[in-house]
């Protein structure tokens, strides 16, 4: 029995278990992506923003993004990706988005596990994925829906990948690639800052905080760290300065003073924190209090707090936004998940005897087993709901083609109703009874109809 325990916790077995978990996450996400149809904004972003004709070239995408910058908003990096994937086709996106989610989970894991004694920790990796699954209020909108995934999953993948070297530098110091990274991190920084208002704003903040920690730890601040900061700040300014942002804000905040908007925004953000961010915040506080009693330097104990502050800042960065949809919490919760994961890693280092105790390992394994058990039922329900939506969407598309073949270009279809928040259509607008609704107008252009409405 003792030999089995030693073998089970050996580095070789843990490495194999880790990659089995990664493969399992890939397969589960592929199934969800496979059964996700095009919905809502996917129809409108499939079209040239000016001519309203289907996207047919990279030039069309660039022209659309130029018009988008001046008429609606500055998220050109992620919306370029959305239009690119819509042009290439949904089957390609199904595969590449599965890789993106898997890569994102690994990047969060690298942030959370940096400095750990063991490189492969399947327990922590599974906790991170379970955190994403259970804590994201609209999982489908942010990781499965094509336009939503490009905005939030892909944007966060770019941002947390950009931030990762700043974190690893605290542990390992200068590397062989430092000189090569000087121009690369300037460009990468621009892309990271040009993704998403609140998450990119958090990226600027975390970059500065990490550079301060480098100085406090008496490490030489790398040149790529400075060029990265310049890049991410520049990208953020370019995005925020988009004339389309102010044109859109005027539609929602007509006549409101800045003070009134700030007060209303603070109330909204606090409400979001209470509704969806309270649980990860409480988990972090509990873990961090334990960490404070352990061994380690001040910098060592500040690292989880940096991510926690980043998550809160990401939330309150929405104070000036005219609306705060649930999907905008993706970056906030991602940072809080990393903060909790980093606490677990740091606590294991701060209490080496405690973390190596077999009773503790058994208890944590039991906890993980319970969470996985609950996840299995939750995932099954979600997959069934998404598959039903996909089938209904396929039937609708076939019906539209039949009607077109019969010469009917004014089609009436049934509305599709999702049941769970894991369904990407949950919280979004399907085809409406009003044929002039923006979703209907975009869908009509997409399917080559004169009009479309629901019963």
| DSSP string of 84-152, one letter each residue | HHHHH-HHHHHHHHHHHHHHHHHHHHHHHHTT-S-S--HHHHHHHHHHHHHH-TTHHHHHTSHHHHIII
Instruction: Classify residue 54 by its DSSP letter.
Output: B
Report the 10 Å Cβ neighbour count for 165. 20
> What's the CA gap between 108 and 110, in Å, rounded?
5
> What's the CA gap between 156 and 149, in Å, rounded?
10
> What's the CA gap between 330 and 152, in Å, rounded?
6
Provide the greatest CA pair distance for the chain: 76
Helix (H) or strand (E) holding 367: helix 358-405
- Joined tokens for residue 99: 């890789």
> What's the CA gap between 318 and 265, in Å, rounded?
7
Question: Would you write out the chain's pLDDT as a tens digit for each of its 455 residues?
Answer: 444 444 555 778 888 999 999 999 999 999 999 999 999 899 999 999 998 899 999 999 999 999 999 988 889 999 999 999 999 999 999 999 999 999 999 999 999 998 777 788 899 999 999 999 999 999 999 999 999 999 999 999 999 999 999 999 888 777 777 788 899 999 999 999 999 989 999 999 999 999 999 888 877 888 999 999 999 999 999 999 988 777 666 555 555 667 777 888 888 889 989 989 999 999 999 999 988 887 767 777 899 999 999 999 999 988 877 788 899 999 999 999 999 999 988 887 767 666 556 676 677 778 888 999 999 999 999 999 999 999 999 999 999 999 999 999 999 999 999 999 999 999 898 999 999 998 999 999 999 999 999 88
Q: Residue 217 to residues 2, 220, 292, 303, 344: CA-CA distances in angstroms?
A: 41, 9, 18, 12, 22
Whether 288 is in a domain gets the answer: yes
Whether 310 is in a domain gets the answer: yes
Answer yes or no: are the C-beta atoms of 224 and 165 closer than 8 Å.
yes
pLDDT at residue 152, rounded to an integer = 96
Residue count of the chain, please give it: 455
Estimate to the nearest angstrom the gap between the alpha carbon of 388 and the chain centroid.
25
353 and 410 together in one domain: no
Instruction: Classify residue 253 by its DSSP letter.
Output: S
185 and 317 together in one domain: yes
> What's the CA gap between 278 and 202, in Å, rounded?
19
Last residue of a domain, one of 304, 329, 362: 362
Whether 260 is in a domain gets the answer: yes
Estimate to the nearest angstrom the gap between the alpha carbon of 47 and the chain centroid.
25
395 and 288 together in one domain: no
Whether 124 is in a domain gets the answer: no
Answer yes or no: are the C-beta atoms of 168 and 119 closer than 8 Å.
no
Domain range spanning residue 287?
34-92+132-362
352 and 450 together in one domain: no
Number of compact structural domains in the chain: 2
246 and 357 together in one domain: yes
- What sign does the dihedral 119-120-125-127 (CA atoms) show? negative
306 and 181 together in one domain: yes
156 and 203 together in one domain: yes
**Burial (0-12, 13-18, 19+ Cβ within 10 Å), 380:** exposed
146 and 200 together in one domain: yes
Instruction: Classify residue 55 by its DSSP letter.
Output: P
Whether 370 is in a domain gets the answer: no
268 and 414 together in one domain: no
pLDDT at residue 3, rounded to an integer = 41
Whether 115 is in a domain gets the answer: no
> What's the CA gap between 293 and 48, in Å, rounded?
58
Report the 10 Å Cβ neighbour count for 221. 14
pLDDT at residue 423, rounded to an integer = 95
Bridge-partner residues for 413, per DSSP? 454
Which residue in the block uniquely carries the two structure tokens 């690298």? 110
Whether 248 is in a domain gets the answer: yes
Whether 225 is in a domain gets the answer: yes
195 and 230 together in one domain: yes
> What's the CA gap between 406 and 154, in Å, rounded?
41
413 and 302 together in one domain: no
pLDDT at residue 278, rounded to an integer = 93
315 and 441 together in one domain: no
> What's the CA gap between 442 and 446, in Å, rounded?
6
Bridge-partner residues for 54, per DSSP? 47
């Amino acid at each position: 029995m003792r030999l089995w325990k030693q073998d089970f916790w050996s580095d070789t077995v843990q490495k194999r278990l880790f990659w089995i978990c990664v493969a399992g996450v890939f397969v589960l996400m592929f199934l969800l992506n496979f059964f996700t149809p095009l919905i809502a904004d996917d129809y409108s972003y499939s079209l040239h923003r000016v001519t309203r004709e289907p996207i047919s070239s990279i030039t069309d995408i660039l022209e659309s993004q130029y018009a988008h910058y001046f008429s609606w908003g500055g998220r050109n990096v992620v919306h370029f990706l959305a239009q690119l994937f819509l042009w290439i086709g949904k089957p390609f996106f199904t595969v590449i988005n599965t890789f993106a989610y898997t890569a994102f989970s690994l990047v969060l894991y690298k942030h959370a596990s940096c400095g750990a004694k063991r490189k492969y920790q399947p327990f922590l990796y599974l906790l991170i994925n379970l955190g994403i699954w259970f804590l994201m209020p609209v999982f489908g909108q942010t990781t499965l829906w094509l336009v939503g995934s490009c905005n939030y999953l892909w944007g966060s993948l770019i941002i947390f990948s950009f931030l990762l070297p700043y974190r690893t530098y605290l542990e390992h110091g200068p590397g062989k690639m430092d000189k090569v990274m000087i121009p690369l991190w300037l460009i990468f920084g621009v892309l990271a800052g040009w993704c998403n208002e609140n998450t990119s704003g958090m990226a600027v903040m975390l970059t500065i905080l990490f550079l301060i920690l480098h100085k406090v730890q008496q490490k030489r601040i790398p040149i790529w760290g400075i060029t990265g900061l310049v890049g991410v700040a520049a990208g953020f300014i370019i995005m925020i300065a988009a004339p389309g942002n102010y044109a859109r804000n005027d539609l929602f905040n007509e006549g409101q003073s800045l003070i009134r908007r700030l007060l209303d925004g603070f109330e909204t953000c606090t409400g979001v924190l209470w509704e969806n961010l309270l649980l990860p915040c409480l988990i972090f506080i509990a873990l961090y209090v334990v960490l404070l009693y352990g061994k380690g330097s001040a910098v060592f104990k500040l690292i989880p707090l940096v991510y926690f502050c980043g998550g809160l800042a990401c939330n309150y960065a929405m104070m000036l936004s005219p609306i705060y949809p649930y999907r905008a919490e993706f970056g906030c919760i991602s940072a809080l998940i990393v903060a909790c994961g980093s606490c677990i890693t740091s606590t294991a280092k701060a209490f080496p005897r405690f973390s190596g105790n077999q009773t503790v390992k058994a208890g944590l394994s039991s906890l993980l087993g319970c969470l996985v058990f609950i996840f299995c039922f939750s995932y099954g329900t979600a997959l069934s709901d998404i598959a039903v939506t996909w089938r209904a969407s396929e039937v609708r598309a076939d019906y539209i083609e039949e009607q077109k073949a019969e010469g009917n270009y004014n089609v009436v279809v049934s509305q599709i109703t999702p049941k769970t928040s894991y369904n990407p259509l949950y919280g979004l607008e399907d085809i409406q009874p009003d044929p002039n609704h923006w979703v209907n107008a975009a869908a009509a252009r997409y399917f080559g109809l004169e009009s479309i409405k629901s019963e």
